[in-house]
Amino acid sequence: MALPVSLQLRYWGISAVVFGLVLWFLGDMLLPFILGGAIAYLLDPIADHMERWGLSRLLATGVITLATIFVFVFAMLLIVPLLVQQAISLFNTAPQIAADLWTFLTTRFPDLLDDNSPRTRWGTWSPPSSRSWPPASDRRDLRPRAPRVATRSGAPLSLLSARGVPC
């Protein structure tokens, strides 16, 4: 006895939603397996071709693995020094870029420095080299405060000061 089409669609729809949710929640764990399967699928024709040349499947897999390792090491030897060089160049030019940006903003938007214009929370912004952080207007005593307990007379008593620790 066959199920009606509407009931089949309901079952298949619920199954698809459950399967999609499982894939969604397990996606981070499944990604390495999916990538490994894709790489194996793409490299299988190369291994088949090496088998036709007379190599065993194990030796063909070893040759492909060694060739892949060689390519990655060679690429890292080319890319890492370039990245280090570019990072050093960025660190050396960053102060000049910040100064140029400051000059551009002050010439393009002079009302940012006008005393009559709305200010930011800490007042007029200045370049990082000429100010301290946090701004003086926002410096607060950030020491943790001890909980206060009232004595019988109603006077506050710090739990830490009762033990001889200054608060």
Give the bridge partners for 156, in sequence order. Answer: 150
pTM tops 0.85 = no
Residue 109, pLDDT score: 81
Rounded Cα–Cα distance for residues 62 and 74 (Å): 18
Nearest CA to 49 out of 38, 35, 68, 63 is that of: 63
Residue 121, pLDDT score: 44
Residue 120, pLDDT score: 47
- Boundaries of every domain in the chain: 1-54, 58-108
Find tokens 């200045």 and name the residue.
Answer: 126
Per-residue pLDDT of the chain (167 residues; tens, 9 = 90+): 688 889 999 999 999 999 999 988 888 888 899 899 999 999 999 999 999 999 999 999 999 999 999 999 999 999 999 999 999 999 999 999 999 998 888 888 877 776 655 544 445 555 555 545 555 555 455 555 555 555 555 555 544 445 554 54
Q: At what angle do helices 27-52 and 5-25 cross, to 10 degrees?
A: 90
Rounded Cα–Cα distance for residues 83 and 85 (Å): 5
3-state secondary structure of 36: helix
